Amino acid sequence: MRSVSNLTWLSDIRDGQRSEAWISYNSSTQNLSVVFTGISDNSTVMQQGLHYNVDLRLYLPEFVTIGFSAATGNLTAIHTLYSWEFSSSLEVEGNSTDQAPPPSDRRRRRRRRHSKNTKLGLGLGLGGGGGVVLICSLVLVCFIGICRGSKGKDEEDNNEENASKGSVGNNAVEKSESSSVPKN
């Protein structure tokens, strides 16, 4: 998620001043507006706002839940919601207690295409990741095998050298012993 529009809020939450906000969306003009109060020169209440043209049908499901959230960054504050209002010009045919209407064909196709793309992306991601893990494991096993093999070879070479030195030494001892033995 990334912000497409932002504005510095002219307010100081540490003063405990009350702020107001209005959020509206006009589906015919596809205009999303957020208007809020700010404080200028520590006394003048002014309205600030953000406006963005967006077709929310492309980003939201047919039915949504509305909620509120507040944050202050590194500071602490008590947030109180004094009132809120929601209105919609959505025209629903039939009794309001009826089940939700089925999604339009266009939305069904978009959801199906999105579902296929998601499954394809998931499969490629998991398959590619699994392949990388497999290759890294094989390289590690080969590396360990080569290291052990060369270490074993070094030990064999040392044993052969020691054996040949030992036999030379034994021969030398035998010769010296035989030279000190009196001849008859």
Phi and psi torsions of 92, nearest 5°:
-110, 130
Angle, CA 138 vertex, CA 136 and CA 139 arms, to 5°: 65
**Domain-embedded: residue 33:** yes
Amino acid at 33: S
Answer whether residue 89 is part of any domain. Answer: yes
The residue range of the domain holding 76 is: 9-94
Overall domain count for the chain: 1
Show contacts of 72-75: CB within 8 Å, 24+ apart: 72/13, 75/13, 75/14
Task: Confirm whether 41 is domain-assigned.
Answer: yes
Nearest-angstrom CA–CA distance, 35 and 48 = 6
Q: Which residues have C-beta within 8 Å of that of residue 40, sequence separation ≥ 6?
A: 10, 46
Check pLDDT > 70 for residue 115.
no
In a domain, 21, yes or no: yes
Q: Is the pTM of this model over 0.85?
A: no
Q: Is residue 168 part of a domain?
A: no
In this prediction, residue 156 carries a pLDDT of 57
In a domain, 119, yes or no: no
Residue 133 lies in a domain: no
Give the whole-number percent of the chain exceeding pLDDT 70.
Answer: 62
- More confident site: 84 or 176: 84
> Domain with 46 in it: what CATH number?
2.60.40
Measured between alpha carbons, how far apart are the two ends of the chain, in Å?
106
The answer as to whether 37 is a domain residue is yes
